[in-house]
Amino acid sequence: MSQGRPLRGFIAGTGGYLPARSVSNDELAAEKGLDTTDSWIVERTGIRRRHFAAPGETASAMGAAACRAALAQAGAGAADVDAVIVATATPDSAFPSTAARIQGALGVTQGFAFDIAAACTGFIYALSIADAMLRTGQARGILVVGTEIYSRILDWSDRGTCVLFGDGAGALFLRVATEAETSRGLLSTHLHADGRHGDILQVDGGAGSTGGTGVVRMAGREVFKHAVTKLAAAVDEALAAHGLDHDAVAWLVPHQANIRIIEAMGRKLHLPMDRVVVTVDRHANTSAASIPLALAEATRDGRIAEGDLVLMEAIGGGLTWGAALARF
């Protein structure tokens, strides 16, 4: 490594996992007795299907499967993992952390593991933490995971919310870039939060709460309004940090919440939709898992190639939002 050159997190492997059961809009409406139709859901969200975890399937089991795929692609094993950082709103338990359970499932016996809670922005937050740890030498190889089972925290009588979410897990294996890789990897991450707007997207109850039902509540129009403006600002911030303009971006990999928001961000970057990775139609909103799932798909099918500049962005409950810029 050149003297004085900062270490950088290099994306060595990607992996994803989706539960076996895939449910169409019509199947969901019939099963849950919802007063909705496939056309209504598709028109407003772009969602056609989603995956649901099987009874007994856990966030840690799904996350471990995604991690195994990422490690295999990177040609790495348990001995190469110094840390597991998991973003999830649906942990197996209050403690031990889902990250610790994944660490155990993978046979990793060194290093450390912890969860973070930033809702749909969680993966960007986790990526930022991992990159900082690699740059400071606190770790040499880190698994960054988003894993969610939202099907267990939905109000099935709320058709405006319950149709939006699905289950799944995605993971990246980050390691310190070599001398030959220092132009690639994570360039920067940009994180934000504004707790004044927390109530417009929340789970109303939890282990430390005095009440609530413990299901997702969302003021959809308010969230949409914040999403478009805040994500646009985060995108501009990420590009400005490196003196780049929109033309430099090869791929946008957005949080997969709603096709209208995704299309708005594509227009913001002057990117045609064939340069935007879209999985929301098949996966629905998998929260913290959506970006790593999309990355796994697009790197493995060859769309994202070596040298491509990739912009990731997300917004979620908190409100939290952020962006990350990486060269693959």
Which residues are marked as active site?
120, 255, 285
Residue 79 falls in which region: left (phi positive, over 0), alpha (psi -120 to 50) or beta: alpha
Q: In what order do the strands lie in the sheet with 309-316?
A: 185-193, 320-327, 309-316, 251-254
225: nearest Cα among 200, 196, 254, 246: 200
Q: Measure the CA–CA gap between 216 and 128, rounded to whole angstroms.
A: 26
Helix (DSSP H) and strand (DSSP E) numbers for the chain: 10, 13
Farthest-apart Cα atoms in the chain, separation: 64
DSSP secondary structure code for residue 187 in this structure: E
Question: Which amino acid would we find at residue 66?
Answer: A
Answer for the pair 153, 53: CB distance below 8 angstroms, yes or no: no
Half-sphere exposure of 128 (CA within 13 A, CB side): 19
What tokens were used for 285? 């909103």
Rg (CA), the chain: 19
Beta bridge partner(s), residue 316: 320
Burial (0-12, 13-18, 19+ Cβ within 10 Å), 221: exposed
Q: Measure the CA–CA gap between 38 and 157, rounded to whole angstroms.
A: 17
Relative to beta strand 216-218, strand 201-203 is antiparallel
Beta bridge partner(s), residue 186: 326
Helices (H), 46-121: 59-74, 98-106
